[in-house]
Amino acid sequence: MSLTDGFYKSDVSEEGGIQVLHRAAELGVTLINTAVFYGAGVNETLIGKAFPPEKIESLVIATKWGLENDFSTDFSPAAARRAVEGSLKRTGKKAVDVLTLRGPLPEDYDLELVFKGVKALVDERLVKHVGLSEVTAEQIKAAHAIVPITLIELEWSLFSREAEASCDDIIPTARGLGIGFLAYSPLGRGILAGRFSSTAEIPEGDFRAAAQPRFQGENFAKNLALAEALRGVAGRKGVTPGQLALAWLLAQGDDVVPIPGTKSVKYLEQNVAAAGVRLTREELDEVEAAVPAGAAAGGRY
């Protein structure tokens, strides 16, 4: 997502973005997460330009729909079909590997209408798998009864552990149905990786500086202190803070796949290397003592 303008301000050239994608493939990365609304489709176009047809068919491209380019929402079957047709045109894929509905859905929304429309796309072999994001446990169960759900994309990190303690039981509900997780913003939008020391380092126009509560005033100062505590644990382990945060998330279950974004080959390589970091129970406790559940200052949005 961060390779093109959208939520995050990107100064990466098309050539630079393609270089990052090529290096990811060289390192064995097989999943690329995107959305039809990331940069009004530019993100998907970049992916399509980066890989020839035979290569892109070997990759899993997970894309999202439901949010329009103007940030309005449209969960209609027609919107799902438009999203799929547009995604296939931009990426060059023969079918969408994972089509994820990005909520939240209104509580009174006609889920049967939505997911029967999505099921039709699966039946037509335009979509291989279906995912959900920012939904409730009841919505997961209702959708899964109509079309099999493969994954839940949710914000999950040392800074965002709401899903673990949710009274809505999102994680146990999904696990009970055999559904896996894509954990987005696993590095707390850069803070946990030690990316920032002041708001001046956030690009102008980036939504983090403009509207993200964890990057505002005293919240930001408190969150930087948590990141510094994590850095101390990482130093003793001999890894970067970002690698430690990713390793902690990987330790939450074999069904959890972190999806960190990056604009840099350097950080890409560090992120991939985190898959080889193993944490003992004592080290996990040390990480959670440095960044306790609920300690992050400010809400997710």
109 is catalytic: no
Q: Which of 180, 43, 29 is nearest to 98 (CA)?
A: 180
CA distance 170 to 41: 29
CA distance 85 to 65: 12
The residues near 202 (Cβ < 8 Å, ≥ 6 apart) are 196, 208, 209, 215
d(CA 293, CA 301): 17
**Cβ-based neighbour number of residue 202 at 10 Å:** 21
DSSP class of 238 = T
Pair 190, 214: CB distance under 8 Å: no
Catalytic residue among 38, 109, 184, 267: 38
DSSP structural state of residue 226: H
What the block records as the tokens of 101 is: 């509905």
User: What positions carry a catalytic annotation?
Assistant: 38
